[in-house]
């Protein structure tokens, strides 16, 4: 069970081979328009007017994206409204990314004399770095080098019965082979946290899971609103999910059955291998960048979709450097998004596959994508914006 | 296509999930593992929606996956659909925390 990846200096394995420019903004966007193979984060979360805790979350996200194995090398620039804060100083971001051993270049716009002169330097640097990255060849790595993050969304009853359990089976296989798997969406463990907390490897982890759910529930209650008017989202209710508890009890199946090694913050890198719970927010605009910052090379959206109508193009990855694959167990969703679904697990509901058999097929698909095959939405040249998960009020 | 009926996920459950569009009056085969029981649908129940496999009194817990998913907000007859019109969540209720009532 190997995949073909790019060896990085810290021993990790990239499944893609990008040059990353951070933070987002004019300079990063223009370098990306000019040079093939360059990625940047599209977000308005600069850190300006944010608390120290939130600025650290932004820094952790940017540093984590830079350290992600899918990134060959990184350019850091100072043209961001938040760059003056100590957490977000370009030199700090560059130094922490460089700790992984990969090449990091810092552009000093003041020294270059103008933004356009800095752009010229950035384009030339990026071209050189992309060329350098292209000389790398893929080689075999075992699953201990793979980290995958999952979100379930527009969930419907096929999610809890088949889609999420098949993803859980995938996670069990990855963890058993020494790899790392990330799941989260704290709102969507409310009502199921007592079940999940039994799987913590020790009391501290079990307590951490309960505390994350309690903190989120308290914040929900403080709004004065019935959470059912917020989450389950309208598409969940339209498809037959009635309460948050019901949604949560289906959602936790995506984590499989492995022991939970720890509770991570958004964008926090796990200290070891295995299954981790991430205290994050369910939004697809937010969750995937956090997984990528934690080191995930691949992210999965397990889609119910029974109550979701709209265009037939699925959103692209907001993980900046990690490809997004879409899975579903709903036959109607499969036919609604014929060019978007990478893997179909509805064969479980049709009685053609067991959950284990479908999980085995999903693992083969994951290894194929990890080895270089594009996901469906990777073929679309569009970047949806990323919303970093910040918990504090802004000032 | 053969009838797929409805699926119970635990023997503690009092609802099952329809695996096909179920018409009113249909005898629905409700599966729990290898066991099958028949429940007559009192109304149309679309794919993915829940059917009560026993009668559930107002105020009682509704159970799926072997765990409570909320409270019946009115008496529910065996064979009725169970959804937001007769089932309320008990968690994250900011409206109640602010002094409202169910």
Chain B residues within 8 A of A224 when measuring between CB atoms? 94-95, 97-98
Closest-CA residue of A relative to B1 is A350
**Buried/exposed B32-55: b ≥16 CB within 10 Å, e otherwise:** beeeeeebebbeebebbbbbbbee
pLDDT, position B1:
37
DSSP string, B40-59: E-SS-B-TT-EEESS-B-TT
Q: Provide the angle, in degrees to the nearest 10, between the axes of the packed helices A26-34 and A115-134.
A: 50
Q: Provide mean pLDDT across the span A294-308.
A: 95
Chain A residues within 8 A of B7 when measuring between CB atoms? 161
Structure tokens at A383: 């970047």
A42 exposed, middle or buried (CB, 10 Å; 0-12, 13-18, 19+)? middle
A209 exposed, middle or buried (CB, 10 Å; 0-12, 13-18, 19+)? buried
Please say whether the beta carbons of A390 and A57 come within 8 A.
yes
Please say whether the beta carbons of B74 and B34 come within 8 A.
no
Please say whether the beta carbons of A91 and A83 come within 8 A.
no
List the one residue out of B50, B13, B63 whose CA is nearest residue B33.
B13
Whether residue A244 and residue B92 make contact (CB cut-off 8 A), yes or no, is yes
Instruction: Give, for B72, the enclosing helix (H) or strand (E).
Output: strand B67-72
Whether residue B50 and residue A245 make contact (CB cut-off 8 A), yes or no, is no
The pLDDT confidence band at residue A272, using thresholds 50, 70 and 90, is very high
Q: Out of B68, B84, B91, whose CB is closest to A217? A: B91
Beta strands in chain A (DSSP E): 2-7, 13-14, 18-22, 38-40, 71-76, 103-106, 139-142, 147-153, 180-183, 260-265, 274-279, 298-303, 324-328, 343-344
Query: What rounded mean pLDDT belongs to chain A?
Result: 96
CA distance B91 to chain A (A): 7
Q: Out of B64, B92, B93, whose CB is closest to A249? A: B64
Whether residue B92 and residue A221 make contact (CB cut-off 8 A), yes or no, is yes
B21 close to A (CB below 8 A): no
Whether residue B19 and residue A222 make contact (CB cut-off 8 A), yes or no, is no
B78 close to A (CB below 8 A): no
Picking from A205-209, A300-304, A307-311, B17-21, which range would have the lowest pLDDT averaged per residue? A307-311
Does A23 sit behind a cis peptide bond, omega within 30 degrees of 0 on the bond before it? Answer: yes
Q: Is the pLDDT of residue A306 over 90?
A: no
pLDDT, position B100:
60
List the one residue out of A323, A328, A321 whose CA is nearest residue A342.
A328
Chain A residues within 8 A of B69 when measuring between CB atoms? 191, 242-243, 245-246, 249
Q: Which candidate in A158, A242, A252 is best for mutational testing of the B interface (most B CBs within 10 A)?
A: A242
What's the farthest any 2 CA atoms get from each other in chain A? 67
Chain A residues within 8 A of B36 when measuring between CB atoms? none
Closest-CA residue of A relative to B62 is A246
Provide ipTM, 2 decimals. Answer: 0.94
Determine how β-strand B15-18 pairs with β-strand B50-52. Answer: antiparallel
HEC assignment per residue over A267-329: CCCCCCCEEEEEECCCCCCCHHHHHHHCCCCEEEEEECCCCCCCCCCCCCCCCCCCCEEEEEC
Query: What rounded mean pLDDT belongs to chain B?
Result: 92
CA dihedral (A177, A252, A192, B49) positive or negative: negative
Whether residue A157 and residue B93 make contact (CB cut-off 8 A), yes or no, is no
Does A359 sit behind a cis peptide bond, omega within 30 degrees of 0 on the bond before it? Answer: no
- Give the bridge partners for B82, in sequence order: B50
Report DSSP state, residue A376: G
List the one residue out of A323, A372, A368 whose CA is nearest residue A149.
A323
Chain B residues within 8 A of A243 when measuring between CB atoms? 69-70, 87-91
Report DSSP state, residue A335: H
B6 close to A (CB below 8 A): no
Chain segment A183-195, per-residue pLDDT in tens: 999 999 999 999 9
Residue A326 sits at φ, ψ, to 5 deg, of -105, 130
Measured distance between the N- and C-terminal CA atoms of chain B, rounded to whole angstroms:
42
Q: Out of B46, B90, B93, whose CB is closest to A240? A: B46
Chain B residues within 8 A of A157 when measuring between CB atoms? 17, 47-49
d(CA B15, CA B6): 9
Q: Provide mean pLDDT across the span A253-280.
A: 98
Going along chain B from its start, the domains and CATH numbers come out as: 6-97 (2.30.130.110)
Q: Provide mean pLDDT across the span A225-242.
A: 92
Closest-CA residue of A relative to B90 is A245
Chain segment A96-151, per-residue pLDDT in tens: 999 999 999 999 999 999 999 999 999 999 999 999 999 999 999 999 999 999 99
CA dihedral (A380, A381, A382, A386) positive or negative: positive
Please say whether the beta carbons of A366 and A359 come within 8 A.
no
Measured distance between the N- and C-terminal CA atoms of chain A, rounded to whole angstroms:
50
Whether residue B68 and residue A245 make contact (CB cut-off 8 A), yes or no, is yes
B36 close to A (CB below 8 A): no
Chain segment B38-56, per-residue pLDDT in tens: 999 999 999 999 999 999 9
Q: Provide mean pLDDT across the span A366-385.
A: 96
Whether residue A157 and residue B83 make contact (CB cut-off 8 A), yes or no, is no
């Amino acid at each position: 069970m190997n995949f073909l990846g790019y060896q990085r200096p810290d021993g990790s394995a990239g499944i893609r081979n990008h040059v990353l420019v951070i933070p987002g903004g004019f300079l990063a966007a223009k370098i990306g328009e000019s040079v093939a193979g360059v990625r940047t984060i599209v977000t308005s979360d600069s850190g300006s007017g944010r608390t120290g805790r939130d600025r650290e979350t932004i820094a952790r996200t940017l540093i984590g994206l830079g350290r992600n194995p899918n990134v060959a090398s990184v350019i850091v620039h100072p043209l961001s409204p938040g760059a003056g804060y100590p957490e977000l100083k370009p030199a700090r971001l560059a130094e922490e990314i460089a700790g992984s051993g990969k090449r990091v270049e810092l552009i000093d716009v003041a020294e270059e004399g103008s933004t356009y002169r800095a752009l010229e330097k950035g384009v030339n640097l990026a071209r050189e770095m992309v060329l350098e990255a292209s000389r790398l060849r893929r080689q075999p790595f075992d699953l201990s080098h793979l980290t995958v993050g999952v979100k379930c969304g527009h969930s419907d009853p096929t999610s809890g019965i088949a889609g999420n359990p098949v993803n859980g089976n995938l996670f069990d296989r990855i963890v058993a082979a020494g790899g790392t798997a990330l799941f989260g969406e704290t709102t969507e463990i409310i009502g199921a946290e007592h079940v999940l907390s039994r799987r913590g490897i020790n009391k501290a982890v079990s307590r951490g899971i309960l505390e994350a759910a309690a903190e989120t529930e308290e914040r929900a209650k403080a709004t004065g609103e019935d959470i059912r008017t917020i989450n389950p989202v309208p598409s969940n209710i339209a498809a037959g999910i009635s309460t948050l508890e019901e949604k949560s009890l289906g959602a936790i199946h995506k984590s499989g059955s492995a022991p939970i090694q720890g509770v991570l913050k958004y964008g926090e890198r796990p200290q070891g291998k295995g299954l981790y719970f991430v205290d994050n927010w369910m939004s697809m605009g937010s969750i995937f960048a956090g997984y990528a910052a934690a080191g995930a090379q691949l992210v999965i959206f397990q889609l119910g979709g029974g109550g979701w109508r709209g265009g037939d193009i699925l959103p692209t990855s907001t993980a900046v450097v990690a490809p997004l694959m879409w899975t579903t167990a709903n036959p109607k969703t499969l036919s609604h998004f014929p060019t978007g679904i990478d893997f179909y697990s509805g064969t479980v509901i049709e009685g053609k596959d067991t959950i284990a058999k479908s999980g085995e097929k999903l693992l083969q698909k994951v290894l194929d994508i990890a080895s270089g095959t594009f996901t469906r939405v990777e073929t679309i040249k569009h970047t949806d914006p990323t919303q970093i998960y910040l918990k504090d009020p802004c000032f | 296509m053969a009838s797929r009926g409805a699926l119970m996920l635990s023997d503690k459950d009092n609802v099952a999930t329809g695996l096909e569009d179920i018409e009113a009056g249909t005898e629905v085969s409700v599966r729990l593992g290898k066991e099958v029981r028949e429940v007559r649908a009192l109304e149309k129940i679309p794919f993915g929606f829940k059917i009560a496999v026993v009668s559930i009194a107002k105020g009682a817990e509704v159970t799926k996956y072997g765990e409570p998913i909320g409270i019946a907000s009115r008496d529910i007859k065996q064979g009725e659909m169970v959804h937001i019109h007769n089932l309320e969540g008990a968690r994250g209720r900011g409206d109640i925390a602010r002094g409202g009532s169910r």
